[in-house]
Amino acid sequence: METDIRQAIHNTVAKNKAVYFSFLKDLIAFDSRILQAGKYGQEKGIQDYLKAYFKKMGATVDAFSPDNDKICGYAGFNPNHTYKDRENVVAVFKGAGGGRSLLMNGHCDIVPPGDETAWTSPPFVCEERSGRFYGRGTTDMKGGLAAAILAAGVLKELGISLAGDLIIESVIDEEGGGNGTIACCDRGYRADGAVIMEPTRMAVMPVNRGAFLARFTVTGKQTHAATKGLGVNAVEKAMRLIEALKETETRWLMTKKHPLLSNPTINIGKIEGGSGASVVPERCTVDFDVEFLPSEYDSDYRLLPVSPQAVKDEIQHCIDLACKGDAWLCEHPVTVDWYQETLCFETDQNEPFVQTALQSCRRILPDTALDGLPCGCDGAPLAHIGKMPVIIMGPGDLEELHTTDESMDSEKFYQAIEVYANLMIDWIGIADSK
Ligand SMILES: [Zn+2]
């Protein structure tokens, strides 16, 4: 009976490939981009589509917009985002009773495709070429979201009813920092285990690095370049501070280590200053990204938690020190503005949920590894607010994130559907009557 069900799942996925591709195509066709780093977003079309789809599947559907007043107190909250016509959609498939519950979280928003003429095929038309699906959001992460929904569909098609509850969240504004998932946690959605279908090529990742986006502004004094000595060059002052950040990054590369994650980094992402070659600039603004670890080895090789505030303090301290060595900057101190944060989380590798997910995955992909996600995702709110064991596991490829010609291995997509359907059975359990 047991093996019959696994085989039936496999056969169903094999038989439905064309239908599954067409569902993915539908999702990719929605231009659900965020605007101004998540201040606004165009998620309405895809969320309306999914609402109707979930209802047809027989789920109880809850659609709601994040309420900033309610969620502003949570760590990781991103201020000043607006939520008109932006709803999370949560589908609950009620279990017959007695099993464990599973929550599957995916974001429906995407980053803009950039120069569309640089794409080989249009970003919102999902096309298959030599074993890969192309289109904005294939990897990040409509592919994963679609696979979870389709996995629930496989069980429904086979008439398998689950013992516990299955919750599928299609959230908004993940690319803007994660307010969508924070709002789902605030609304009370919980389960005994949570999967985020972000791209891992189906590796099981119980941990991720967090990220801060930050900015500092250096003020100088404007003059003509010919009388440079009378002014203060803000761009050149900013370069001192950038140098200091680079030194901190180098030290981190040598000292900060985690068993599943690569080292933390600081990326100088944008420099803005000056008005022309003949003017000594009076302002320079530098935007940078700090990737940080949830825990790191100390000198005795014990893995100890890292406080995100301590990471911020270290950066500010580095800037303060660099300012101290400069008379002008001593009088015009530079403060870091932390404008976006994506926190990290870590689930113990020995948690039954992590082990069950590994097992379910290895039924289909025997070489499945445990690994860590180098970037931020919605895992932190699920773990910290929701207090759930969380893993990241999805069909996309990390190298494809936010790229021109973003794509996903088509076989991985179908395997993900099969893995998720197996995980639903393994973790939630099949209802007794069946
Ligand atoms: Zn993503």
Segment 48-69, tens digit of pLDDT: 999 999 999 999 999 999 999 9
109 classed as catalytic: yes
List the one residue out of 220, 231, 148, 229 whose CA is nearest residue 191: 148
Average confidence (pLDDT) over 112-122: 97
Residue 106 CA, ligand 1 centroid: distance in Å: 8
Mean pLDDT of the chain: 96
Q: Render the burial of 168-200: b for 16+ CB within 10 Å, e for the rest.
A: bbbbbbbbbbbbbbbbbbbbebbbbbbbbbbbb
198 alpha carbon to ligand 1 midpoint, in Å? Answer: 5
Burial of 137 (0-12, 13-18, 19+ CB in 10 A): buried
Q: 174, 175, 346, 371: which is the annotated catalytic residue?
A: 174
Cα(434)–Cα(419) distance, integer angstroms: 21
Rounded distance from Cα 242 to ligand 1 centre (Å): 29
Q: Average of pLDDT values for 294-308?
A: 93
* Distance, CA of 356 to CA of 363 (rounded, Å): 11
Structural contact between residues 66 and 402, judged by C-beta atoms closer than 8 angstroms:
no
Ligand 1 centre distance from Cα of residue 107 (Å):
7
First to last CA, the chain: 11
Contact by Cβ (8 Å): 196, 378? yes
Q: What local confidence, expressed as pLDDT, does residue 57 receive?
A: 98
Whether 208 shows a pLDDT value over 90: the answer reads yes
What pLDDT does 1 receive?
Answer: 62
Does the structure show a pLDDT above 70 at 434? Answer: no
Is 358 a residue whose pLDDT tops 80? yes
Spacing, Cα 330 to ligand 1 middle (Å): 41
Give strand ranges (E) for 67-191: 88-93, 102-107, 127-129, 132-134, 166-171
Element (H, E) at 268: strand 265-273
> What's the gap in Å between 254 CA and the centre of ligand 1?
29
Q: Which contiguous run of DSSP H or E holds residue 211? A: strand 210-219
Beta-bridge partner residues of 218: 284
Rounded to the nearest angstrom, the distance between the alpha carbon of 379 and the centre of ligand 1 is: 11
Q: Which of 43, 62, 87, 109 is catalytic?
A: 109
Confidence of residue 433 (pLDDT cuts 50, 70, 90): low
Q: What is the pLDDT of residues 341-356, one digit of tens each?
A: 788 999 999 999 999 9
DSSP assignment letter at 370: B
The string of pLDDT tens digits covering residues 360-370 is 999 999 999 99
Domains and CATH numbers, the chain: 2-207+345-428 (3.40.630.10), 210-342 (3.30.70.360)
CA of 140 to the centre of ligand 1 (A): 4
Q: Nearest 5°: phi and psi at 323? A: -65, -35
Average pLDDT over residues 299-306: 92
